[in-house]
Amino acid sequence: MMKAVTISDVAKQAGVSKSTVSQFLNQRYDYMAEKTKKRIEQAIDELGYSPNIVARSLKQKSTMTIGVIVANILHVFSTQVIRAIEDYCNESNFHVIVCNADDEPAKEKRYIDMLRAKQVDGIIVFPTGGNVDLYKDLVKQNYPIVFMDRMVPGISVSSVLLDNEKASDLAVRTFVKKGYTRIGMISPPIVKNITPRTERVDGFKKALKKQQMTFYPEYLASGEIADIQVMMEQLFKQANPPTALLALNDRVLVEILQFVKAQQFNIPHDLALIGIDDVSFAGIYNPELTTIAQPAFEMGKKAAELLLYLIRNKNVQEEARVYRFEPKLIERTSV
């Protein structure tokens, strides 16, 4: 590494003081003589100087960096959210550090601690829900934080979520409209902290009721992704198996399709299907898959907006809010 050139070198070269160079860098040339500017500009050019942001951050107590802790960057939804956050931050000259908590509270805690030690200006997190005390602490300290995809009961942090009940409602209506009556749903483990799961399942039940349909508990199967094949077998061993199935998310959908393939079911004749999450192959699958899309980009952008607002307005005590986004039904031919 070459020895770095500092503000002192520039000052010396330009024949002015460090203060003046600093003023120049921060565009505070209210009363700066034109020739001083020129000299500094030239010195910077000649030396190839670029300010050390770490030093600036130390002084200014702002790193222009935020942290994003996702459950897993491999999920398409997370990827889209990150992309949107990155785009938004980029416009505002913020950088983003990405972390994977893998739904493990211990990892999440470690990342939050590290990010704070690194003095990031704020954090967007898909909360595991397993660090309630930590969240409370952050709130008490008025630390800028936004929750994404999930809420944590009792924690007053603004949260960006899909209108999950609406998503299920959209699906159920679609099935009912086409005359299906034996409607089931497949879900990963319904864990209390994981808002999308609880809300989508609740929404599913409510929607059936609203449509005056009976909810058959035996048509609602939930369990680890790895166990879904077995769960499906059992589901279809029943006397009257469901004729329509809602997949809680993209990963569940893939499992269902696996099963459908093995059983050589004909969609939608033997089984109608709707998946929440507009998977990349929905339009090219045979038959095309009816899905419910999440506006992931808008959601990511909203979270970034909220966070930067909190960062810039630390003094104002904002009321935490839940921001709901509209799911969108994309009708294709699997129903």
Q: Using CB under 7 A as the criterion, which residues of the chain lie in contact with DNA when the complex forms?
A: 4, 6-8, 15-20, 22-23, 25-26, 31-33, 36, 49, 51-52, 55-56, 58-61
CB distance 40 to 21 below 8 Å: yes
Tell me which stretch binds a copy of itself (CB under 8 A): 92-100, 236-244, 270-278, 320-328. Answer: 92-100
Bridge partners, residue 325, by sequence: 162
Total residue length of the chain: 335
**Complex with a copy of itself: residue 6 or 198, whichever CB lies closer:** 6
Q: Which of residues 175-214 bind a copy of itself (CB under 8 A)?
A: none
Smallest separation, CB 122 to DNA (Å): 18
Residue 314 near which of DNA, a copy of itself, none (CB within 5-8 Å, type-dependent): a copy of itself
Of 80, 193, 198, 211, which one interacts with a copy of itself (CB under 8 A)? 80
Of 117, 226, 239, 316, which one interacts with a copy of itself (CB under 8 A)? 117
Question: Should residue 98 be labelled a site residue for a copy of itself when binding is judged by CB under 8 A?
Answer: yes
Token duo for residue 192: 């209390």
At residue 221, the 3 state secondary structure works out as strand
Residue 6 near which of a copy of itself, DNA, none (CB within 5-8 Å, type-dependent): DNA
Q: Which amino acid is at 208?
A: L
Please choose, from the candidates 59, 23, 53, the residue with its C-alpha nearest in 3D space to the C-alpha of residue 41: 23
Question: Should residue 41 be labelled a site residue for a copy of itself when binding is judged by CB under 8 A?
Answer: no
Token duo for residue 189: 């483990």
Per-residue contact flags (x/-) with a copy of itself for residues 291 to 330, judged by CB under 8 A: -----------------------x----------------
Specify the long-range contacts of residues 79-83, CB closer than 8 Å, at least 24 apart.
80/296, 80/297, 80/300, 81/148, 81/149, 81/296, 81/297, 81/299, 81/300, 81/303, 82/300, 83/297, 83/300
Question: Should residue 22 be labelled a site residue for a copy of itself when binding is judged by CB under 8 A?
Answer: no
Question: Should residue 254 be labelled a site residue for a copy of itself when binding is judged by CB under 8 A?
Answer: yes
Please choose, from the candidates 58, 43, 60, 59, the residue with its C-alpha nearest in 3D space to the C-alpha of residue 7: 43
Q: Which residues of 266-285 are buried (b: 16+ CB within 10 A; e: fewer)?
A: ebbeebbbbbbbbbeebeeb
Residue 17 near which of DNA, a copy of itself, none (CB within 5-8 Å, type-dependent): DNA
Residue 142 near which of DNA, a copy of itself, none (CB within 5-8 Å, type-dependent): a copy of itself
CB distance 75 to 280 below 8 Å: no
**Sign (positive or negative) of CA dihedral 284, 286, 290, 293:** negative
Smallest separation, CB 216 to a copy of itself (Å): 26
Binding site for a copy of itself (CB under 8 A): 1-2, 50-55, 57-58, 63, 65, 72-74, 79-80, 82-83, 86-87, 90, 95-100, 113-119, 141-143, 254, 257-258, 261, 279-281, 283-286, 314
